Amino acid sequence: MHRFLRQSFLYSILFLGLISCTTYKLSDVKPASDTLKTAENLYFSSGEDYVYKCQMDIYSNHVSGILIIKKTENGAHRVALTSDFGNKLIDFTISDTDFKINYVIPDLDRKIIINFLKNDFRKLLKRQYPVNQTFENEQFRIYMSKAGREQYYLFFDKETNMLRQIVYTEKDREKIDFTFGAKKHIFADSIQLQHRDYKISIRLFQISETE
């Protein structure tokens, strides 16, 4: 399985040129007045362990395991992925500015794989988003946060105020779509991460719940 993971990531890079990401544009929304200066993703803000069943689809191949995410004292997160049999595959510490590999099996110790994990989880665990513009439709209040060529669109359910979706774009091109299912503001029961320019998706399903 370890060799398969490495080959799958390399395969995704090989076919990158055959896949074009789409221009992202909000539809059926209107500008909204809002005094909120910073939108927040609170799903990983607790100090308790977040434990998920992890499923990855890389092109036509499927990999599963257990993912554990824990907030550290300095505000970073420790992330560990094990196989279904409990063998550790990778363990790293990540924040907005730092990234440290604590352990990685040799078959996963490749720059391409490490960069995918670093970039995807840095975006997933990002907590604060300075608000540049606010939009709304019947269901969502949408906050747009921009930093250089990167833009994030955060969709909050107007009835529950729950974060339901984050769309990440670069140069107006949709790159990654994060979708959340949750009953609590600090814990997402399910998360789906879908790349738009790679045939890669990651799905997380709750195993233990933070109280």
Q: CA 56, CA 79: separation in Å to the nearest integer?
A: 16
Please give the pLDDT value at position 11. Answer: 52
pLDDT at 61 over 90: no
Question: Six-digit token pair at 39?
Answer: 């939108």
Q: How far is CA 70 from the centre of its chain?
A: 15
- Can you list the pairs that 177-184 forms with residues at least 24 positions away whose Cβ atoms lie under 8 Å? 178/123, 178/124, 180/43, 182/43, 184/210
- C-alpha distances out from residue 52 to 79, 112, 136, Å: 11, 24, 31
pLDDT single digits (tens) 62-72: 778 999 999 99
Please give the pLDDT value at position 210. Answer: 45
What is the value of pTM for the model shown?
Answer: 0.86
Mean pLDDT of the chain: 87
Query: What's the rounded mean pLDDT across residues 44-73?
Result: 88
Q: CA 135, CA 31: separation in Å to the nearest integer?
A: 4
* Per-domain boundaries in the chain: 2-208
* Closest to 204 in 3D by CA, of 66, 63, 100, 12: 66
Please give the pLDDT value at position 43. Answer: 96
The amino acid that residue 15 corresponds to is F
CATH architecture of the region 2-208: Clam (2.50)
Query: What's the rounded mean pLDDT across residues 23-43?
Result: 91
pLDDT single digits (tens) 112-122: 888 888 999 99
pLDDT at 76 over 50: yes
Q: CA 134, CA 25: separation in Å to the nearest integer?
A: 14
Three-state DSSP class for residue 99:
strand
Query: Lowest-pLDDT range, 2-6, 55-59, 161-165, 190-194?
Result: 2-6
